[in-house]
Amino acid sequence: MINLEERISEKKSFFNRLIIVYIFFAGLFLYFLYKTFLLQISSYTDYEIASLENKTREVLIQPRRGVIYDRNGNILVNNVPSFNLIINPSSIENIDDHLNEINQIINLTEDEENYAKENFSRLAKLNRELVLKKNLSTDERSRFKVRKYKFPNTFIDQRYSRENLYPFLFSHSLGYTGSPEESDLEEIFLNQNLKPKEMIFSYSNGYLIGKTGLEYTYDDFIRGRFGKKIFEVDASGKFLNELRVVDEINGKDLFTSLDLESQKVAYEQLNRRRGAVVAVDINTGAIVTYLSSPSFSVNKIANGMTQKEFKLLINDDDKPFFDRAAQGRYSPASTIKPAIALFGIENNIIDWDFTLDDPGYFILPEDGRIYRGWKKGGHGNINLNDAIIESSNTFFFSLAYKSEIEDLTKHLSNFGFGEIVCLDCFLPDSGLLPNPSWKMNNLNFGWFKGDTVNLGVGQGYMSATPIQLAYYASFLANKGELNKFSFVQDNDNKEVKKNIFLSNNIDENDWLKLHESMIGVIENPKGTAGRLRALKDYTIAAKSGTVELVSTETKEDYKIIREIEGQRDHAIIIAFGPMPNPKYAVSVVIENGESGGSVAGPVAIEVLNALLKK
């Protein structure tokens, strides 16, 4: 028999224990509630995003790349549509039957069939499209169009590929496009706030970015912005429906300052010889002609060429990939003389009345070494004007001899030598403006007075690119005031860096006299480029140069070394016109062309003709 007291204590014990368990569970329950609160309230945003990312899949829509125009509105680079045959796998039951039926209209290669078969079931499950065949011909397209009713799940869609309409004319200036590297894409996506898991490319060759030339430097501008289609997906990744479309923003068209006609002329004139032509609008600094020769087809590079073709180009001795205009280093030779003349006037070493007897050579007083001119017997008693027209070396040897090298290089840098003169050129070289510390650091030799003397005629260590020579010519033409070069017409939004020659002694009169002398190079009977007189019907100022690659004492010696083409002199000319109010300046370099006046000269004149015709 259970007594009352026991029952009461038992009841109390039960009561206590049940409460203990309930309290324990209440604690657990509160912890659960706290966890739920954390999930639903505190971290709500994180989980909302996670849920959104779970159920949506963004598919990128590729923007159209901007068209590139020349300054007259001629299309230079365009996007050409190609037509692809596409099927919708999720609504096709048997791929083999389907391919057989398609094959009766449009021939599919074995590769194409295999690709379709391999990817069919995966794409069907995910409800994605499958490209059966790329680049359909017009014939294939019309054959399909007629029978389209038989294939409700098959369609033709337009995709774009990049085409340069003048593939050989603008190889180096416009450059070419290619598939982006993984890192390029990451950067682009980061820039455009995209986190794509997959994408649909509307270019047949996939997404393209600029690899060289303006395609590279203006890639941001002509690239555009990706659009996206946002699909709802289930856990398996299957597309359920389209939620939203953000339209792509096509790339902006690029209106360049390039001039198609003058470019054609330059290309024809150089005729695959090794060399470069650069012509510039001196008022704006806009590059109108830019050719490095020989060139190569940018379309082939961009759209795929065979290994063999590529090897041939890479191993070509003429190095067609090398951009001579921006990267080729040439001694300016006699073309430097106007700049040296200005140095003499600026520093009161000479004036226009100063005369000198030119016996055909200059003897360095320090060691008696002889520096020869190009004309045996010399030019006689000459002033600065004569020295420029006849290209007297002795005069400028002597002038350079009286110059301080540090002052001289500082002066020459005003003309763009040793500087980057172009704002949007692709990997431009800055040439070389030597000075004593450079020589010590690089050649481990001290500076000789003879080095300064050599600099006076643009020989020796100094080198410049054709683009720098064009800059130099423009600077002279514009009387010491110039914008940095650019390839685009509208210079307004660019940071225009006007380079102004600050001078104490050189006045308008000196500039006019200098122009007169350079006009004389062509017009004066004694001028070194007299042959050009007949090629034009307006006045041009010029200075020719001949770059000695191998130093020779006599004409006979040169005849021996010129047997090997690669040892022949380079031909150089800078020119600007029409005088007296010049509009364009041009520089021409023809490797191993031997004569600046008669080989490079005609090219420069023809380019100016083409530019001034309008």
Closest CB 226 distance from other proteins, rounded Å: 25
Edge to edge, the sheet with strand 56-61 lists: 198-199, 56-61, 227-233, 239-246
Find out whether 223 and 194 touch, Cβ atoms under 8 Å. Answer: no
Q: Is 244 in the site for other proteins (CB under 8 A)?
A: no
Of the pair 230, 249, the CB lying nearest other proteins is at 230
Candidate list 85, 234, 404, 540; residue touching other proteins; CB under 8 A: 234
8-state DSSP, 507: -
> Which member of 161, 204, 334, 474 is catalytic?
334
Q: Which of 3, 5, 6, 274 binds other proteins (CB under 8 A)?
A: 6
Binding mask of the shown chain, residues 194 to 233, with x at each position contacting other proteins by CB under 8 A = --------------------------------------xx
Cα separation, 339 vs 388, in Å, equals 11
Q: How many residues belong to the site for other proteins (CB under 8 A)?
A: 40
Q: Are 577 and 279 in contact (CB under 8 A)?
A: no
10 Å Cβ neighbour count for 502? 7
**Interaction between residue 37 and other proteins (CB under 8 A):** yes
Which one among 3, 5, 48, 486 touches other proteins, defined by CB under 8 A?
A: 48
Cβ 164 to other proteins, closest distance in Å? Answer: 46
Among residue numbers 50 through 79, which ones bind other proteins (CB under 8 A)?
50-52, 54-55
For other proteins, the binding residue among 80, 190, 240, 440 (CB under 8 A) is 240
> Would you state the structure tokens that stand for residue 541, as one six-digit string?
């100022």
Q: Residue 28 or 427: which CB sits closer to other proteins?
A: 28
CB 57 → other proteins: shortest distance, Å?
A: 11
- Nearer to other proteins by Cβ, of 6 and 481: the residue is 6
When asked if residue 44 is in the footprint of other proteins (CB under 8 A), the reply is: yes
Smallest distance from other proteins to CB 15, Å: 6
Residue closer to other proteins (CB basis): 16 or 551 = 16
Number of neighbouring beta carbons within 10 Å of residue 476: 27
Q: Are the beta carbons of 406 and 343 closer than 8 angstroms?
A: no
Alpha-carbon distance of 487 to 390, in angstroms, equals 35
Considering only 31-39, 284-292, 412-420, 533-541, which stretch makes contact with other proteins by CB under 8 A? 31-39
CA 284: distance to chain centroid? 20
Which one among 46, 187, 268, 366 touches other proteins, defined by CB under 8 A? 46
CB of 4 to other proteins, least distance (A): 7
* CB contact set of 16 (below 8 Å; sequence gap of 6+): none
> What are the phi and psi torsion angles at 563 (to 5°)?
-60, -35
Alpha-carbon distance values, 232 to 48, 248, 303 (Å): 15, 19, 35
Min dist CB 52 to other proteins, Å, is: 8
Strand partners, 193: none
Contact in structure between 149 and 171 (CB atoms under 8 Å):
no
Q: How far is Cα 4 from Cα 513, in angstroms, rounded to an integer?
A: 135
Nearer to other proteins, 22 or 538 (CB): 22
Task: Count the neighbouring beta carbons within 10 Å of the beta carbon of residue 190.
Answer: 10
| Least distance (Å) between residue 75 CB and other proteins | 47
Interactions with other proteins, residue window 10-29 (CB under 8 A)? 10-11, 13-15, 17-18, 21-22, 25, 28-29
Q: Are strands 68-69 and 75-87 parallel, antiparallel or unpaired?
A: antiparallel
Residue among 55 and 134 whose Cβ is closer to other proteins: 55
- CA distances to 207, 215, 263, 309, 322 from 426, in Å: 21, 9, 18, 24, 12
Say if CB 387 and CB 337 are below 8 A apart.
yes
CA angle 421, 424, 430 (to 5 degrees): 35
Choices 30-38, 106-114, 171-179, 541-549 (CB under 8 A): range interacting with other proteins: 30-38
Q: Which is nearer to other proteins, 10 or 557 (CB)?
A: 10
445 touches other proteins (CB under 8 A): no
Q: How far apart are CA 277 and CA 291, in angstroms?
A: 5
Smallest gap, in angstroms, from Cβ of residue 92 to other proteins? 24
In the bound state with other proteins, the residue whose beta carbon lies nearer, of 94 and 236, is: 236
- In 3D space, the residue among 475, 513, 535, 458 whose CA is nearest the CA of residue 283 turns out to be 475
DSSP symbol at 130: E
Contact window for other proteins (CB under 8 A) among 3-11, 222-230, 331-339, 496-504: 3-11
Nearer Cβ to other proteins (90/355): 90
| Strand ranges in 359-437 using DSSP code E only, listed in sequence order | 361-363, 370-372, 380-383
Residue 12 CB, shortest distance to other proteins, in Å, is: 11
Identify whether 121 is a catalytic site residue. no
The strand pair at 177-178 and 154-164 is best described as unpaired
Contact set with other proteins (CB under 8 A): 4, 6-7, 10-11, 13-15, 17-18, 21-22, 25, 28-29, 31-33, 35-37, 39-41, 43-44, 46-48, 50-52, 54-55, 232-236, 240
Enzyme catalytic residues: 334
